[in-house]
Amino acid sequence: MRAARSRAAAVRLLESAVVYPFSAIVGQDRLQLALILCAVHPGIGGVLVRGEKGTAKSTIVRALAALLPPVSDESGTRPARLVELPVGATEDRVVGSLDLERVLRDGAAAFRPGLLAAAHHGVLYVDEVNLLHDHLVDLLLDAAAMGRVHIERDGVSHSHPARFVLVGTMNPEEGELRPQLLDRFGLTVDVAADRAVDTRVEVIRRRLDYERDPDAFAGRYAAVDAELADRIRTARERLDAVSLDDGELRRIAALCAAFDVDGMRADLVVARTAVTHAAWRGADAVTEADVRVAAELALPHRRRRDPFDAPGLDDEQLDQALQQAADAVEPPSDRAPDPGDAGPDDSGPDDGAPPDGPGDGAVPPNGRLGAGTPGSTPQRLELSGVGDGAPGRRSLARGRHGRVVRPDDSPPQRGLHLIGTVFAAAPFQRERGRVGGPLRLAAPDLRGTHREGREANLVVFVVDTSGSMGARARLSAVTDGCVTLLRDAYQRRDTVAAIAFRGAAAEVVLPPTSSVDIAVRRLAAIPVGGKTPLAAAMYRTRELILRERARDPRRRALVVLLTDGKATGGAEPVSRARAAAALLAREGVGAVVVDCEHGLVRLGIARDLAQDLGARYLALAELTGTAVAGVLRAAA
């Protein structure tokens, strides 16, 4: 009873907490503008906020909801809601599902709305959106773009409005979003703590004042926040009256073409944002200044075709692009059409067609590897068995995510399998005395769901940087191979780590991370030279894996060893390395050994290590990044 009263008191305290005022935020002008523009026009597609920890990302998002106009519904008028989506949310919780209680009690099919319905006319806030499962991010972005949610599942067909301001925040050090998902966010803002002392002092002063007396602090900014809320309401009302003439449309199209962004989504988002910015400042028509602001917010993340591309948009580049776009504002003079000006030939492949060439289907040039024949589609490298780790795209897994394969006799820990439950209960209805009415259930009838999906793994790159590997061309090839593999790991949502061994020791040069930017920087700075301490590398790898297993027992590990196997110092170091490899194999990790040995005389130590590790052995006559990645993806 006492615990229940404590929980109730805690809930009342949270509900009565005074939100930090939006206008009291210091040093985040661009983020505030992006949020306001999406509040005026949610159809822009939401804001992705990228930044280091401690930059007021969550504070400013929570303050935004208080500026939105009140919502009228069946219960009357209420303030706009801020709905927070937890990282561990299921699809049922997000979009809604069949109301099982009413189905089983009344025999009537009814729909139970999810978080997207609750966020209608409010703010949907997803903290650490980069850690959310990809298919859930897709659902959110689809709903934000269309303003509606469509559900076709479990025998339910349902649609409801879901017009909300979508805000996702993330720390890039914890991993990136895939480029396909980045493009779906309307705007993006990179935030960082200001280095100016005066600004930092003001941030501290205001925060301490707020903590000392939240009500008095909020009262000082109430008038400014009320003015912002009124401007948002007015801008919404005048949005349809803002004109976007052909000249500014041509400027937008030329600007997006100059930055070589993919598809047409960028053009549409820049146009919507420019119109919204004009409405926000009270103008009747879009000008070049509106287009510039829109480009600054809508284009930086769309320039990243690759996870290793640097984010951001340089002001000088934007100025040059706007100058070039100025020539396109006036339409070309009337003249006879030239055949060379014709659009793309309809007989060719469409934008979605894959480019010519092997692409991901490429296989290494060394035909002795048995990795496949030219033109074949290699299988991706994955761990054997079925895991239960974090959602990803590499190895087979069971868990809360993934497709429902069949009912499960175990308790419904991963969701109730409705059809399986009904079939289990059906044979017993007569003996339970049912004559019409709802289905009569007993505990043994309940069936869980057996789901199968893909999990992310811990991929540990163990890289030989000794003197025998130090030839510039070969080491460059190894580095290129690691970068290509990191790209693959990024696409599979893996956590990656790197161990370099040389001289007398092995060093963890990259602790486990999901940030590919950090991984590339660390790998580029690995020193080279000295002996080949293979045993030390095996022991250090085992130590890292055991430490990570203690943190996350469900995440399985995959070791990728790149070495020529030339353990210097005689037979004893080789025997120690093989013993260390056997010890690592007993931990049940998956492994691949890429043999980088070359020359006429070969010791074959890497092959022996592969045998001791129970690993797949891959030998390369000529080591290139493409060859390494191709062979590893081809490994079954």
What's at 431, amino acid-wise?
Answer: E
- pLDDT bucket at 516, cuts 50 / 70 / 90: low
CATH class of the domain defined by 457-634: alpha beta
Q: Where are the domains of the chain?
A: 20-239, 242-329, 404-454, 457-634
Q: What is the pTM of this model?
A: 0.64
Task: Using the predicted structure, report yes or no on whether residue 557 has a pLDDT greater than 70.
Answer: yes
Q: Which residue has the higher pLDDT, 390 or 175?
A: 175
Q: Where are the beta strands (DSSP E) in 438-532?
A: 448-455, 458-464, 495-502, 505-513
Query: Does the 242-329 domain belong in CATH 1.10.8.80?
Result: yes
Note the pLDDT tens digit of each residue in 331-360. Answer: 655 444 444 444 444 444 343 333 333 333
Mean pLDDT on 551-573: 76
Catalytic one among 30, 220, 265, 440? 265
Residue 192: the pLDDT is 85
Q: How far apart are CA 636 and CA 632, in angstroms?
A: 9
Question: What pLDDT, on a 0 to 100 scale, did the predictor assign at position 631?
Answer: 43
pLDDT score of 331: 64
Q: How confident is the model at residue 376 (pLDDT cuts 50, 70, 90)?
A: very low
Q: Is 66 exposed, middle or buried (0-12, 13-18, 19+ CB in 10 A)?
A: buried
- Give burial (CB, 10 Å; 0-12/13-18/19+) of 323: exposed
- Asked if 20-239 and 457-634 have one fold, the answer is yes
CA distances from 487 to 248, 293, 453, 496 (A): 38, 32, 21, 11
Other CB atoms within 10 Å distance of the CB of residue 436: 5
Q: State pLDDT tens for residues 43-86.
A: 998 999 988 777 888 889 889 988 998 888 777 788 888 998 88
Of the listed ranges 64-73, 84-93, 236-245, 304-313, the one predicted with least confidence: 304-313
- Backbone phi, psi, residue 65, to 5°: -55, -30
Beta carbons of 34 and 187 less than 8 angstroms apart = yes
Q: What is the pLDDT of residue 209?
A: 94
SS3 346: coil
CATH architecture of 20-239: 3-Layer(aba) Sandwich (3.40)
> Among 192, 127, 122, which Cα is nearest to 161's?
122
pLDDT at 366: 28
> E-assigned strands of 412-569?
448-455, 458-464, 495-502, 505-513, 557-563
Residue 205 is predicted with a pLDDT of 94
Average pLDDT, integer, range 483-498? 72
Beta pairing, strands 590-595 & 616-619:
parallel
251 in active site: no
Question: Mean pLDDT across the chain, nearest whole number?
Answer: 75
